[in-house]
Chain A
């Protein structure tokens, strides 16, 4: 029996007419690397992306419409569901916009707790970014290490608020409730372990040649383009712009904290990775400082018509009981006016445009989501890159579709 392989001669016609190399590829909306329901219409020339058109709206939740039908305090739970990796940041932007309209002064302890929780949340959000970004590129173990750290933070958030993904911890005028007993011990425990985890990520990735080749010189956006496209947060800082609203438009007392603003000039996926990795250290520093600043004191503003009274007060004073009833049943009236309040969320500038016409429900609430704006610059970063790099670029933007299709 012969074992010789039969030689197949090439079809002469096929050689003369090369294969069609241009094609359209619809990536998503269920592709795991599109981080939610994002569809990308990719025009390819072989493996090269010649055009990328993002198609959003598959999730559209109509939250901005919903705000107009809810009382101010009911809106807080809606914000949790926008950027579900950074719900405390969303809570903060929303309640601060309402507090600006009401011109409320927030007690110092509440401000320190807000900073503390927001920075913990930023670390948790960056952990999901790093884990899923690595998973997109093919590094699986980092994903597990990141989620282990995130789990510890979610346990802390759960201890403080009762919720893990939807804490609704900040209230207009202060906090939902004070931190539980032993919270500082648990935070310190986390802080003691975290530097080792950071060093693990650094060791696994920064010096890794495969990681470097998959991220360097990919998805480039220049400083001028980034500003024109409204890109903010770590993506903007990776293009060489030193802008951090915690420093340049300080809120919640960020001006008294000592931290650096990591800036890179590469403008590529690698630079965005480096900026976020260094931001983790800065957030860690802020959490440490917030722990030192945490002193006993009130956690709610002195505004009985806006802030729910304490349980004990309700048992003793009729006024408190009436205020509680009115706030829960009818809400509170907010003076007419309009504000735009922006905070530095984990993904960039999270702005809330809020307008009141004097009633208990807002007239208009608009969220300027950083993911929405950063994603709009994706075609610029993708064109001319290989298709395998598209997932790396999406990962480097750290998008959350809940914030895009809000």
Chain B
């Protein structure tokens, strides 16, 4: 079922073996972990030469404060031509939560990256307008981090 997707991963390997750090095949989906310094090149290759012309989704996730690397950014690529999906994953540590932007490849990455920055706190280097999108500009912290409490930092009080 995922043989065709593995074909794309092989092509990535052929182009540059350093792009593919890890491959997971589970539940009919293939996830490729890409070192963050190669993510723009890998995305560009998949877009221009393998037909993954649409960035369907980009989202961040916090694995928890005890994990290292703590954050991950998931890129869900989709092809409007051959209709396959591929997930790329970039891992980044809390001390250096920076990932290069892919806004130069897909315009849609603009809002997705702003959302990820706003809620998870991962910064995207080279983003043209990296500011909060859903939360107010003076909001303290990043709400989707695991150590951010559900009710916020302010203690809940009826007074």
Give A contacts to B, CB under 8 Å: 56-57, 60, 62, 64-66, 68-69, 100-101, 103, 225, 227-230, 232, 241, 243, 248-249, 337-340, 342, 349, 351, 353, 355, 363-364, 366, 368, 372-373, 376-377, 405
How many B residues face the partner with a CB closer than 8 A?
37
Complex interface: chain A residues within 8 A of B134 (CB): 56-57, 60, 405
Kindly report which residue of chain B lies nearest to residue A248, judged by CB atoms: B83
Per-position 1/0 for B84-111, Cβ under 8 A of A = 0101000000000000000000111011
B85, B110, B133, B150: most-surrounded residue (chain A CB, <10 A)? B133
Count of A-B residue pairs with CB < 8 Å = 94
How close is A213's CB to chain B, nearest CB, in angstroms? 30
Kindly report which residue of chain B lies nearest to residue A55, judged by CB atoms: B133
| B27 on interface, CB distance cutoff 8 Å | yes
Q: CA A265 – CA B118 in complex, angstroms?
A: 36
Is B80's CB under 8 angstroms from A227's CB? Answer: yes
Is A368's CB under 8 angstroms from B27's CB? Answer: no
Cβ contact of A372, chosen from B111, B132, B150, cutoff 8 A = B111
State which of B6-14, B34-42, B48-56 sits at the interface with chain A: B48-56
How close is A234's CB to chain B, nearest CB, in angstroms? 15
Is B27's CB under 8 angstroms from A339's CB? Answer: yes
Is B27's CB under 8 angstroms from A100's CB? Answer: yes
Cβ contact of B143, chosen from A65, A349, A353, cutoff 8 A = A65
Per-position 1/0 for B22-40, Cβ under 8 A of A = 0000111101000000000
Cβ contact of A373, chosen from B83, B111, B135, cutoff 8 A = B111
* Given known A-B contacts A228-B106, A248-B83, A376 and B111 have beta carbons under 8 A apart: yes
Q: CA A304 – CA B80 in complex, angstroms?
A: 39
* Given known A-B contacts A353-B57, A405-B134, A368 and B107 have beta carbons under 8 A apart: no
Complex interface: chain B residues within 8 A of A339 (CB): 27, 29
Kindly report which residue of chain A lies nearest to residue B85, judged by CB atoms: A340
| B70 on interface, CB distance cutoff 8 Å | no
